[in-house]
């Protein structure tokens, strides 16, 4: 029996399909000091009292057992589309079941001491990345892919064990994001400042919000941006059709321009109704890894990524968020604009969607633009 304790404001009633109170964010909720690890915070919910940790690649039916889970799925986790990326043992899809989940403001951390500004290194330098862009363009010319997202991983040593709550506080001040959260496991953890929805579930309704197309604030979003968004929106629609009722999948919004700190994006919204009896493992199998950070066709793009990228992405570009398996609700973000800490170092990924219309130097510049503000925040030099 699930022993979870949930504190809830009765002004936020649960969905009609549920007979139990759903944990919801409460405006002006309690402000907590940083809890002892392991702990997590996401979307106004603070989770403590870890009861169980599983790898969903090894235990795909864990979420069917019920409970409130914080999920961190590596891009390489073997829970989705079979490919050269998602091979067993290369990545993990970890789910942490917490006993106590309650509405709370984000906990306050201590003092963040991050890497020196000049300490960051990249898994691919400019020459290697632009060569990778040209290689993807050749795959497009050959008809192997229409688009593939090419990423590089930035890393730097941490001067002391990380206070991830303190880093999250800096990100909230300098780079607010709709899908912000923290998983603190002590010596390791994840801090998300993601702008992108991977999956939201409310009963049988599932929704995704792929981002493709990036510009400086107010800058032009051109034909290449539109083309890659439309291609990925179609890919996400096809992914959802694998587990949704026939005729229920719709593109609820296409090419909406959204402003985010230091960037504008094109965002589309795809929505459908799940077939009766669809399991979490089936939903992840159909949709993971997220299409917006993979490419189209997805399997061919993933194989290209495995061949061209020189470092695993880990939680970057994977899925991060929560699943309430008792109530059939969830909110998972695409793990972009996301820091991971482990082994005494901090990592941040950055990438760009490559199409035939890509210019290698401009794609390199896009990866720089996406990372610049976050690196400055983490290194104490916010622009």
Q: Catalogue the active-site residues.
A: 196, 212
- Both tokens assigned to 244: 């949704």
Tell me which residue has tokens 């990380």. 162
CA 358 – CA 161 distance, rounded (Å):
40
- Token readout for 182 is 């923290």
The helix-helix angle for 298-308 and 126-141 (nearest 10°) equals: 150
Residues sharing a CB contact under 8 Å with residue 153, sequence separation 6 or more, in sequence order: 122, 123, 311, 312, 313, 314, 316, 347, 348, 349
Return the residue matching tokens 């001040």: 173
Q: How far apart are CA 310 and CA 186, in angstroms?
A: 28
Distances (CA, A) of 165 to 44, 106, 112, 153, 210: 14, 8, 8, 22, 27
Write phi, then psi, for 227 (nearest 5 degrees): -65, -45
Q: Which residues of 223-242 are buried (b: 16+ CB within 10 A; e: fewer)?
A: ebbebbbbbbbbbbbbbbbe
Helix (H, G, I), strand (E, B) or coil at 241: helix
Strands (E), 104-234: 121-122, 147-157, 179-184, 189-194, 197-202, 205-209, 211-215
Task: Tokens for 131, please give them.
Answer: 């060569």
* Rounded CA separation 187/203 (Å): 35
Q: Is residue 201 within 8 Å of 243, Cβ to Cβ?
A: no
């Amino acid at each position: 029996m699930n022993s979870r304790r949930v504190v809830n404001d009765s002004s936020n009633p649960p969905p009609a399909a549920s007979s139990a109170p759903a944990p919801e964010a409460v405006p002006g909720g309690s402000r907590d000091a940083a809890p002892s690890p392991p702990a997590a915070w996401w979307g106004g919910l603070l989770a403590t009292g870890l009861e169980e940790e599983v790898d969903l690649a090894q235990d795909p039916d864990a979420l069917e057992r019920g409970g409130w889970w914080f999920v961190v799925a590596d891009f390489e986790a073997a829970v989705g589309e079979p490919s050269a990326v998602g091979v067993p043992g290369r990545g993990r899809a970890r789910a942490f079941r917490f006993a106590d989940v309650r509405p709370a403001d984000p906990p306050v951390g201590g003092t963040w001491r991050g890497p020196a500004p000049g300490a960051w290194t990249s898994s691919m330098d400019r020459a290697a990345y632009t060569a990778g862009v040209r290689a993807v363009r050749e795959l497009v010319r050959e008809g192997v892919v229409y688009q593939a997202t090419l990423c590089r991983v930035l890393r730097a040593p941490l001067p002391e064990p990380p206070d991830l709550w303190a880093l999250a506080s800096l990100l909230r001040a300098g780079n607010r994001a709709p899908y912000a959260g923290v998983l603190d496991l002590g010596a390791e953890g994840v801090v998300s400042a993601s702008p992108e929805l991977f999956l939201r579930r409310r009963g049988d309704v599932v929704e995704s919000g792929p981002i493709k197309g990036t510009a400086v604030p107010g800058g032009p979003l051109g034909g290449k941006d539109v083309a890659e968004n439309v291609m990925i929106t179609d890919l996400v629609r096809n992914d959802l059709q694998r587990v949704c009722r026939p005729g229920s999948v719709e593109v609820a919004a296409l090419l909406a321009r959204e402003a985010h700190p230091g960037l504008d994006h094109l965002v589309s919204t795809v929505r459908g109704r799940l077939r009766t009896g669809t399991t979490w493992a089936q939903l992840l199998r159909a949709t993971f890894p997220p299409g917006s950070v993979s490419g189209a066709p997805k399997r061919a793009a993933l194989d290209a990524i495995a061949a061209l990228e020189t470092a695993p992405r880990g939680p970057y570009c994977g899925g991060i968020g929560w699943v309430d398996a008792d109530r059939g609700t969830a909110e998972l973000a695409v793990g972009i604009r996301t820091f991971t800490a482990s082994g005494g170092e901090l990592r941040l990924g950055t990438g760009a969607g490559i199409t035939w219309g890509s210019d290698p130097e401009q794609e390199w510049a896009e990866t720089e633009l996406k990372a610049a503000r976050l690196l400055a925040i983490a290194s104490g030099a916010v622009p």
